[in-house]
Chain A
Amino acid sequence: MSDDTGMHRNDEPSAAELDRVRALLAGLGEEPAPPEVVVRLERVLDAELPQPGAAPGRRQRRWLRRGALGLAPVAAVAAVVTILVVRPGGDSGSERAAPPPASVAAAESADSAASAAAGAATLAAPAGSGAADAATGTAFSQQGATDDGAARSAAPSPTSAAKASAAEAAPTPAAIRASAIAAYRETRRALLARRAP
């Protein structure tokens, strides 16, 4: 881009003229904006920006959401580990010493998978308020910190009929693992979708 304006040397203004131009330009910046422009600006700002006192809440919700997102992988990994490591041995030490029959173990495995899926569904549900965000974050930390028994207590217990059905289906450890991984992915997808503005 050329800066050649074609101005001849004898056209060049004096220093006084240049100063005058500078002063005039500075004066343009001092002029008030038209009142109707000001009114519309205020209206737009009132409509678009949070009212006084609203900003901290919004910021707090954002941090809670970030916290929940940060805990999501940890909680999911903890759930998978819990399912894969604790389940085959039973819930308590005494039960571990005497493993239950295969059909009962299968039923409990199905119970655990159902529990994980229910937890994931809870977390994936859209939350429209800060309280919901907080609840989600809490759910994550609880699920990450508790053993499978506590996690199971948070989910609806399957009926005996369902247990029998699950026992007939007899899911394999691979199926349980796949189910847990699917639940984790679903949770993560839902949270990422919520994070998008």
Chain B
Amino acid sequence: MSGRAGTDEDLVRRAQRGDRAAFDELVVRHRDRVYAVTLRLTRNPADAEDALQDTFLNAYRGLGRFGGRARVSTWLYRIAANASFDVIARRRVRDEPLDEGAHAPAAPGDPYAQSAERRALERALAALPDEFREAVVLCDIAGLGAGEAAELLGVPAGTVKSRVFRARALLASALREPDAHDPVETSG
């Protein structure tokens, strides 16, 4: 990702020298996607918010250890995933289904966000077995490679690829079902 303030790598280098504004710019660039990842991993808005905050605090504290071997986004989403797993472990997740009313971060007027298909996807994603959901969130929402996700999850890369494929297939099947496009729309 790049912009007027430079690439992510530029921002990290400046932040490593103590430039807080550069770090803030990094936060602005990545906070939405990091939140999307933590929300789908924790399946709980409060836990997701905790994980989001932990992600950027841990990232700032770990700036000195970022050597530039991985992409900044990869580094950040790894921290986000670890923060989510930590939050899950700490609170022993209440295992509630995703509360769409509470979490829906969509901007008003966003047709995609308002669509029944999106809501159906959220429900199907929340209903996936944990290992499938983690794999597909890390690969398809966070954008990690199979190898990176495998390292994070502690399984072989082939297993991650298989889980991602299976997860996508399950989601597609769920979206295909006649009642997938939920009652919220029909009741309105």
Contact = CB atoms under 8 A, between A and B. Distances in A.
Interface SS, B side: helix
- Counting chain A CB atoms within 10 Å of each CB, which of B31, B107, B172, B173 scores highest? B172
Interface in A99-133: none
Judged by DSSP, the binding face of A is: helix
Interface residues of B, number: 53
Interface stretch (B1-9, B89-97, B113-121): B113-121
Given A25-B136, A33-B52, A38-B31, A5 B57 contact: no
Interface of B: 18-21, 23-24, 27, 31-33, 35-37, 40, 45, 49, 52-53, 56-57, 60, 105-107, 110, 112-113, 117-118, 121-122, 125, 129, 131-132, 136-137, 140-143, 159, 162-163, 166, 168-173, 175-176
Interface of A: 1, 3, 5, 7, 11-13, 17-18, 20-22, 24-34, 37-38, 40-41, 44-45, 48-56, 59
30 contacts: A5-B132, A5-B166, A7-B166, A7-B170, A13-B169, A18-B169, A18-B172, A21-B168, A22-B168, A24-B175, A25-B136, A25-B168, A27-B112, A28-B40, A28-B118, A28-B141, A29-B37, A29-B141, A31-B106, A31-B110, A31-B113, A34-B105, A37-B52, A38-B31, A45-B57, A50-B20, A51-B20, A52-B19, A52-B21, A53-B20
Q: Which 6 A-B pairs have the closest CB atoms?
A: A55-B18, A13-B172, A33-B35, A25-B140, A17-B172, A52-B20
